[in-house]
Amino acid sequence: MSGARVWPWYLLALVVIVLDHLSKWIASTSLEYGQPVVLLPVLDLTLLHNRGAAFSFLSDAGGWQRWFFAAIALGVSGWIAWWLRTLPAGKAWLAMALALILGGALGNLIDRVLLGYVVDFISVHWGPHYFPAFNIADSAITVGAAMMVIDTLFLEREASSHADQAG
């Protein structure tokens, strides 16, 4: 993908970062830490700080994990930015998936570097069973990853099938 064609995807990543940090700022300034605000019977807003990775993995590891996860996020973000630049034209679905993942990774990376933790505030549950709290960046990463799976399982096969029929 040429430089001119990749900028819309970088812009999408930037939109994810801005929405993520705006929502984290709103949550941080209007919610009390650990005190749920019920929106729906299955959805609360609860301000939490995650010092670990996904699902608070290694959150109590003593501090080294902050820089370890920051380095991983930076490396993955660089790789995704490069991948976006090298995608052939016509791969909009995959480009969108990568842009969502890039924006989410950078959104959480900024928290981790500046604050030492990632701000989470969306809490989904069914009765007493809670899913780990998350944020907009986590949502963008999840949607982007799901889009990549769809691309791999369905869209790539469809493209290969059409190429086989044409050839």
Angle at 151 between CA 145 and CA 153, to 5 degrees: 105
- Mean pLDDT across the stretch 56-62? 53
Look at residue 164 in the predicted model and tell me its pLDDT. Answer: 52
Look at residue 49 in the predicted model and tell me its pLDDT. Answer: 94
Look at residue 63 in the predicted model and tell me its pLDDT. Answer: 59
pLDDT digits (tens, 9 = 90+) for 25-49: 999 999 999 999 999 999 999 999 9
More confident residue, 53 or 47: 47
User: How many residues in total does the chain contain?
Assistant: 167
pLDDT digits (tens, 9 = 90+) for 84-120: 999 988 899 999 999 999 999 999 999 999 998 999 9
Look at residue 40 in the predicted model and tell me its pLDDT. Answer: 96
Buried b / exposed e over 16-36, threshold 16 CB at 10 Å, is: bbebbbebbeebeeebeeeeb
pLDDT band at 65, cuts 50/70/90? Answer: low
pLDDT digits (tens, 9 = 90+) for 119-161: 999 999 998 899 999 999 999 999 999 999 999 998 776 655 5
Q: Which of 60, 120, 151, 164 is catalytic?
A: 120
Give 89's DSSP letter.
T
Look at residue 50 in the predicted model and tell me its pLDDT. Answer: 87
Q: Which of 20, 44, 111, 138 is catalytic?
A: 138
Is 138 an active-site residue? Answer: yes
pLDDT band at 4, cuts 50/70/90? Answer: low
Give 167's DSSP letter.
-
Residues 6 or more apart whose CB falls under 8 angstroms from that of 27 comprise 45, 47, 119, 121
| pTM score of the predicted model | 0.85
Is 111 an active-site residue? Answer: no
The CA distance from 60 to 53, in Å, is 11
